[in-house]
Amino acid sequence: MSLNKKQIITYIRLLFSIIMVTAFIYIADLGKIVSYLTSLGSLSVALIFLCILLSVIISGLKWHALLPTNKLSIIKITRIFNIGLFFNNFLPSSIGGDGMRIYLINKEGIRKSTSASSVILDRLFASLTLASLGFFSSIFATHFNIIAFLMFAVLFIIVGIMITLILKGWIPGFINKKESKIKNKLLAFIEAAKEIRKNKAAIIKNLILGAIFQIFVALVIGAIFFGLNFEVPGIIDLIYLSTATSVLAMVPLGLNGYGLREGAYIYLLQTYGYTISQALSISVIFAVMVSIFSFLGGLDYALAHISNIFFKENKIEKEI
């Protein structure tokens, strides 16, 4: 059976992640890692899950701000967001979750162009707040790292340019020259994005909630430190660590950030005096806890899909 280019790239990324994670486990003390992982008490696990739950709720709220008013409830949007999180964690691409979010709210009566613009701009605004908080926290962190500092600056510039181009309605010249389905879809997307641009209050709300979301992600990591009885860094350092590892996990070398995220934790936490085994344990617990929580989104989707009732409540007539 022949493989297409996309499948080959996926397998290469999977191999990269396997090699990286295996290498980190090899250089760490596996016995200590197991000891750390089994030392988490039920209260610590509950605290970690609570922080993850609050971060998901905030994510739902910030995405909801970009959608047409009175279309979908915040509860349903939060459920759909968590379903997208499940597909992010269990499909070989973070784009899979965004595609599922677009698909599900389109089924709820939101036009595809509006669905796509809300999800993509929500993702870009989230990256902008991630870069902004990471940039400033890296300046005031206990251990300044020039690589992380530059990484945040580059991400901020790239995302800022992308947001500006979308909101300004820019279309590449080679697409704009002739009529095509791609051009028509882009035009519809741009028009939907312009509607979001008009609602400055919604954008500001999304950005503020995005910053709060990043703080709660930092608190998830802080809860893991606390649960492992490690010395908990200050909130600025936690924000710096969470944002830096998130940015490195975006690099499309490994599969869903695996390998890169672990390497980032090891690299950054060693400057704080933590061992490779401690850093790897924190990374593993974070990934496992988020994956377990997002699994609830997959279960939600599966049960609703099987019973065929998930999107029938308060069904909205599709827009033309």
DSSP assignment, residue 318?
A: P
Domain ranges for the chain, please list them: 53-307
DSSP 149-169: HHHHHHHHHHHHHHHHHHHHT
Nearest to 210 by CA among 239, 190, 182: 239
Between the two ends of the chain, the Cα-to-Cα distance in Å is: 43
DSSP assignment, residue 309?
A: -
Residue type, 183: K
Cα angle for residues 234, 237, 241 (degrees, 5° grid): 135
- Tens place of pLDDT per residue across the chain (320 aa): 566 777 777 777 778 888 888 888 888 888 888 898 888 888 999 999 999 999 999 999 999 999 886 678 888 899 899 998 888 877 765 557 888 899 888 888 888 888 999 999 999 999 999 999 999 999 999 999 999 999 999 999 999 999 999 988 887 776 767 777 777 888 888 888 888 988 999 999 999 999 999 999 999 999 999 999 999 999 999 999 999 998 887 777 777 777 888 889 999 999 999 999 999 999 999 988 998 998 888 888 888 766 554 445 444 444 43
By three-state DSSP, how is residue 207 classified?
Answer: helix
**pTM of the shown model:** 0.86
Cβ pair 290, 94 in contact under 8 A: no
